[in-house]
């Protein structure tokens, strides 16, 4: 129970049990139309963008930073991809080749992350202020790209990214698995993980020890931007459109919640990639439960906040110690 992933796993298991109790077919998975179909598959597919953003956010938070602009970057990447693909109603033509559109969208997302990283590491701005600038301006940039309209995408090959299936599973899961595997190997099989921890714990000491802390921080924000860009591609592909005003709305808050639920310390240094994935699954499973149970939309955010609050209390060693003292106190 003292393991950092114990309570997140218990929370996820409890949410699955709640869904199963109120929905007899929740755990049912069947083969339909050439792929697996069921509530669990739907949760995994819809959680893919949040998992990607959470992975990028993990690296930023691990370096004592925060990025509240990822939702705007999602909107920008989706807008760039939609504008470059364009396409006719027939769905057989594209303004630019699809690989070029994908590279263009990810390139713009990387530039957004690079901008944040430079403001934090080079200029010396506080991370929340630096990313707040892009959070506000990014929505405007996305709407400028889309001309204030929702761009509908008709190019059918693009739909495969967020809505296609490979080997019976959503293709988005393979994208998430690739990003996670590459990042996990980088932080566990190279010195990158140690450098990130050193910068997060004490950036000054890390710099004195020879770690290029500023470059590492810039790289972390750039990677976070790329992850948000990939998430934007998946979202726009899934809904077949790009909405500069609403795409990725509040995604940054869900990502921060997912990272903290997974055991990553907001003070930097300690982080868990697996925990961030579990945290994202908790958020998506909770969202599914709220809607499936018929909870009114106007209070679903309150329910989500309460659940997150309780889980964070259970994860706190200080809170558990105080509860233990009260339980052991005579007469209590």
- How confident is the model over 154-201, as pLDDT tens digits? 888 899 998 899 988 999 999 999 999 999 999 999 989 899 998 888
Residue pair 81/104 in contact (Cβ under 8 Å)? The answer is yes
Measuring CA to CA, which residue among 79, 98, 82, 8 is closest to residue 285?
Answer: 8
| Percentage of residues in the chain having pLDDT higher than 90 | 46
pLDDT tens-place string over residues 207-260: 888 888 899 999 999 999 999 999 999 999 998 888 888 888 889 989 998 998
* Residue 92, pLDDT above cutoff 70: no
162 vs 319 pLDDT, higher one = 162
pTM as predicted:
0.90
Distances (CA, A) of 168 to 157, 174, 290: 18, 11, 27
* Bridge partner list, 165: 170
From the number of C-beta atoms within 10 Å of its C-beta (0-12, 13-18, 19+), residue 278 rates as: buried
**What rounded mean pLDDT belongs to the chain?**
87
The whole-angstrom separation of Cα 56 and Cα 187 is 13
Confidence of residue 1 (pLDDT cuts 50, 70, 90): low
């Amino acid at each position: 129970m003292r393991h950092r992933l114990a309570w997140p796993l218990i929370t996820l298991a409890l949410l699955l049990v709640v869904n199963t109790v109120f929905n007899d077919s929740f755990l049912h998975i069947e083969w339909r139309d050439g792929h697996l179909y069921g509530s669990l598959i739907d949760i995994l597919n819809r959680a893919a963008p949040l998992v990607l953003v959470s992975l990028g956010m993990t690296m930023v938070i691990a370096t004592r930073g925060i990025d509240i602009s990822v939702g705007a970057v999602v909107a920008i990447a989706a807008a760039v991809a939609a504008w470059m693909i364009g396409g006719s109603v027939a769905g057989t033509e594209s303004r630019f080749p699809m690989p070029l559109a994908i590279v263009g969208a990810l390139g713009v997302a990387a530039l957004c992350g690079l901008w944040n990283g430079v403001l934090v590491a080079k200029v010396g701005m506080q991370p929340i202020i630096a990313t707040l600038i892009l959070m506000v301006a990014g929505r405007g940039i996305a709407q400028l790209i889309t001309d204030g309209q929702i761009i509908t995408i008709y190019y059918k090959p693009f739909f495969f990214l967020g809505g296609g299936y490979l080997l019976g599973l959503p293709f988005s899961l393979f994208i998430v698995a690739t990003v996670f595997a590459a990042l996990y190997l980088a932080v566990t099989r190279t010195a990158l993980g140690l450098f990130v921890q050193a910068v997060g714990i004490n950036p000054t000491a890390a710099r004195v020890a020879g770690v290029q802390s500023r470059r590492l921080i810039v790289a972390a924000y750039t990677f976070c931007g790329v992850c948000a860009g990939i998430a934007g591609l998946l979202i726009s592909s899934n809904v077949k459109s790009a909405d500069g005003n609403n795409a990725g709305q509040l995604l940054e808050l869900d990502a921060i919640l997912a990272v903290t639920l997974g055991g990553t310390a907001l003070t930097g240094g300690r982080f868990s990639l697996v925990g961030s994935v579990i945290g994202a699954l908790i958020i998506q499973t909770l969202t599914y439960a709220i809607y499936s149970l018929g909870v009114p939309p106007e209070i679903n955010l309150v329910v989500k906040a309460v659940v997150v609050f309780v889980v964070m209390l259970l994860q706190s060693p200080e809170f558990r110690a105080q509860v233990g003292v009260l339980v052991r106190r005579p007469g209590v």
